[in-house]
C-alpha cells in the first residue's frame, strides 16, 4: 500500500512541478522530483534485499526523502511556485506516505 501511495505522490509532484519557472529546471524542480521519486525507488530496492534489516534501512531512506519533500513543498509554496490548493493536495499525500512508512517500519521492527 505504501508503494502505491508513494507512486501517486510522485505523479502528482511531476504534474504540479511542470509549471515551475524554466530557470528552476535544475534547481527546485529537479530537487523536488528527485526526492519524491526516491521514495518509491527506495521501497522497491529495499523489498529486493535479502533481510528485513536491509528493508527497514531503505524504508528509513524513503522517510528521509519524504522529509526533504516537506521542505521543498513548503519552499515552492512560499515563492508562489505552487498555489494553495496544489500545495495542500501534495502535502496531504506526502503526509499519508510518511505515516504509512512509519507504520511499516514499526511493524517490521517488532
Confidence of residue 110 (pLDDT cuts 50, 70, 90): confident
Over residues 35-86, the pLDDT tens digits come to: 999 999 999 999 999 899 999 999 999 999 999 999 999 999 999 999 999 9
Residue for grid cell 528509513: 60
Residue for grid cell 500545495: 87
Percent of the chain at pLDDT exceeding 90: 95
Indicate whether 10 pLDDT > 90.
yes
d(CA 18, CA 29): 8
Indicate whether 29 pLDDT > 90.
yes
Rounded to two decimals, the pTM is 0.94
Find all residues with CB under 8 Å of 91, minimum gap 6, and list them: 70, 73
d(CA 97, CA 17): 19
Query: Quick one: fold of 2-15+25-109?
Result: de novo design (two linked rop proteins) (1.20.1440)
Alpha helices in 25-110, H assignment, sequence order: 28-47, 52-78, 84-109
Kind and range of the H or E element at 3? helix 2-17
Least confident range of 3-7, 23-27, 66-70: 23-27
Amino acid at each position: 500500500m505504501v508503494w502505491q501511495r508513494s507512486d501517486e505522490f510522485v505523479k502528482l509532484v511531476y504534474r504540479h512541478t511542470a509549471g515551475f519557472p524554466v530557470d528552476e529546471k535544475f534547481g527546485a524542480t529537479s530537487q523536488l522530483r528527485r526526492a519524491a521519486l526516491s521514495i518509491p525507488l527506495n521501497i522497491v530496492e529495499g523489498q529486493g534485499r535479502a533481510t528485513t534489516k536491509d528493508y527497514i534501512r531503505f524504508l528509513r531512506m524513503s522517510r528521509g526523502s519524504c522529509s526533504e519533500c516537506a521542505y521543498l513543498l513548503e519552499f515552492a509554496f512560499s515563492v508562489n511556485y505552487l498555489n494553495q490548493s496544489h500545495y495542500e493536495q501534495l502535502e496531504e499525500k506526502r503526509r499519508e506516505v510518511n505515516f504509512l512508512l512509519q507504520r511499516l517500519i514499526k511493524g517490521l521492527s517488532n
